[in-house]
Chains A and B, each alone.
Chain A
């Protein structure tokens, strides 16, 4: 816990949580019910900041991935992982909140709203990047694969959004959301800032965790060269797949 990255991360998380809680408090207890949605409209104060933060962290991941790919520096790799993971967690939250929002307002748990659908596609696309990381043992290759898949997934964001928007709008009228009231600005702004700071802190912590893991992996002693195992049924001796692994 002595590392500056972890300390800064924790400070950000605490500050961000305080700001988010303040924004949510105003949204839940001070702000008047939303004109059309009533009290259900208060979900917006958690939903909209989550959406903004998720998108920003995918953007951060994209930039870090480009740096990671062209510099090969381990810090960028850890930062990409941190940003993708925080963005994915927020996107999953976004889907849950969106479902909860859709039930009372549109009378369904799921609708092909472009934003909801794009979030689902994004959660899948970035979630798989994290899964893929777990399956690659070689650090250099893992760094390359993570960066490349992150870049490709991020480039897909606008394409998915516009295609789904177009596709859904031909089926049903475009979903209308509550127009922004001026009284909504304060809790939204405070909660959004808080989410962003909290997310940054979580991302820094996750980056530190990844750096520790990568350093641990790099410090680990090399495996001794594996001798070809004696195979009685194979006259040539040895398993070609084992040679490949060394």
Chain B
């Protein structure tokens, strides 16, 4: 158990180091999220009340779209250099490989959110968030909700032709609950929560994360074996 944990941290460190060395790509991802937010604003028009009302929705769609780019290349290095087999022979337990990569992807998504949230607030004019800690919690939970099934499906589709299309097709229907909960919770934090609905949505996010972090970790062994 401790070995799996230690290996998870090693994989996480490795992936973040790889990202850091190729940081131009990470910066490009930040730019992508910002541009998507800008496009949403253009598509809806300059109606500022409308924009502010939907700020949470734009934020999470931008993050979800950015995540498909991020996830798509999350295993590409390993697959292209046949390093996946080497990692498994090392031996890295499949669960550690999954959790390390999923944590790295969740962390990168949170990093994208660090840029996307201020851009979103500025463009939509949603204003200052009164409770940034709560928003940070929602961002972390939502990013984790995208990262776990996302990493899993990225591994599943890694060797399939047409994976660029298949990954979002598999992922988007699946993360509908996480998306609903994240958007709702974010909007409530931004615009106020008179009816005390926030705890329920956060609980839903926690449940979604718990289900998919455990289920995907359990099934990942089969994915890398096949």
Is A in direct contact with B (CB under 8 Å) within the complex?
yes
Flag if A159 contacts B222 (CB, 8 Å): no
Main secondary structure of the interface of A (DSSP, over half): helix
Flag if B211 contacts A145 (CB, 8 Å): no
Of the candidates B172, B177, B211, B219, the one having the most CB atoms from chain A within 10 angstroms of its own CB is B177
- Chain B: residues with Cβ within 8 Å of the partner, total of 34
Q: Scan B69-106; emit 1 where CB is below 8 A from any A CB, else 0.
A: 00000000000000000000000000000000000000
Which partner residue on chain A sits nearest B204 by CB separation?
Answer: A163
In the bound complex, how far is the Cα of B149 from the Cα of A160, in angstroms?
A: 15
Does A25 make an interface contact (CB < 8 A)? no
Task: Give residues 135-172 of B contacting A (CB, 8 Å).
Answer: 149, 152-153, 156-157, 159-162, 166, 169-170, 172
Which residue of A131, A147, A152, A166 contacts B174 across the interface (Cβ within 8 Å)? A152
Flag if B184 contacts A156 (CB, 8 Å): no
Does A43 make an interface contact (CB < 8 A)? no
**Contact count band on A:** 20 to 34
Does A73 make an interface contact (CB < 8 A)? no
Flag if A131 contacts B169 (CB, 8 Å): yes
| Interface positions of B (Cβ within 8 A of A) | 149, 152-153, 156-157, 159-162, 166, 169-170, 172-174, 176-177, 180-181, 184, 197, 200, 204, 207-208, 211-212, 215-216, 219, 222-223, 225-226
| Interface positions of A (Cβ within 8 A of B) | 69, 121-122, 124-125, 128, 131-132, 135-136, 140-141, 143-145, 147-149, 151-153, 155-156, 159-160, 162-164, 166-167, 170
Which residue of A122, A128, A131, A163 contacts B181 across the interface (Cβ within 8 Å)? A163
In the bound complex, how far is the Cα of B177 from the Cα of A121, in angstroms?
A: 10
Which 3 pairs from chain A and chain B are nearest by CB? A144-B226, A163-B177, A125-B173
Taking CB atoms, residues of chain A closer than 8 Å to B153 are 149
Taking CB atoms, residues of chain B closer than 8 Å to A140 are 226
Flag if A153 contacts B181 (CB, 8 Å): no
| Shortest CB distance A199–B (Å) | 22
Taking CB atoms, residues of chain B closer than 8 Å to A143 are 226
Taking CB atoms, residues of chain A closer than 8 Å to B181 are 163
